[in-house]
Chain A
């Protein structure tokens, strides 16, 4: 498990770096707690007027908000900072040092930056998810839980591959920070089930920016409304996109000419 060992190393480095600023913990906790409070207050406001939103019961949407924070936290924890640093080091040429290391370069650039404070979002997401699950009660069986885990992993792989493809395009386009920021602003649309959006927007949120796979599909699994076909399709798409990202990364590395040439 080179992946876990490397992640452990980078996590330790990040903890050592940030431990010098303990007050940051409270500041980040306040930020995340406020955002979560706003999301839940928004839900309360909506369900004061209706019993279901597009067929979703309150506790199911609560689970969706939990998944939103969980996945958003993971993206912010390791994917986004790593990919931002990647575009940066392609631009200034410091990627040379990374390529010279005796470890898979894709693995390295995917893990080399860990923003530990985002663990707060991961934790809050898990708490919300737990509360929502307790409310859903017996409706969540073993099959649903397994489908949820599978959908979450597949969704995570899809989001990761998507980010890697965007960041890898820096080998040709050089300045892609703006494209990365756009994902962040579109991700917010995932706080609601994509099924409520009109067709063109749903398509965009599924295939152009894979918010649907990352958030709606796992939450659907918990609510027990995920068909096996969608789950298999998601898993297939994850494998496909991961392979494509890997090939694209290889092509990018070959194209990369380094700082001194």
Chain B
């Protein structure tokens, strides 16, 4: 139950610098906090509030609006099965029932070993491959019961670690630069600017 680590604190400050108003960085920073601990701990919420000059209640009140943020611990693998229309008419509800039986938990529940949390989700925009699910927001389509068995085994054995990072890790690509448009003009810069070449074909 930790505050943000030094590295994550630095990432948070870099995010804040990208926005005209600091509070805009709240959702991206909460994703970092969730990446760090797997869920949003009270300490992390307090720390994020301090960074953005907000009350912890304001941070909690915002976080609680969004389905992807958890204010309680969840499993290492968040299995989200879609049952919305396109999946429903292609076996999504049956897949969810199968997942419940296979993992031994109802939607919202976490397995005793902390490996899996199961949830029913609304449409995740992968309807061309219905029924579908995500694990930690990595997509799997046209999932049969056998596929689900294999997937659960592979995840538990750590065989998919490269494709499916632990819960909370959303975007593994870091932004390489800060804001540049307003950077001061270096001497001679504008003289170097050439008229753009039209390249229409």
Mutual binders A and B: no
On B, residues with C-beta under 8 Å from A are none
On A, residues with C-beta under 8 Å from B are none
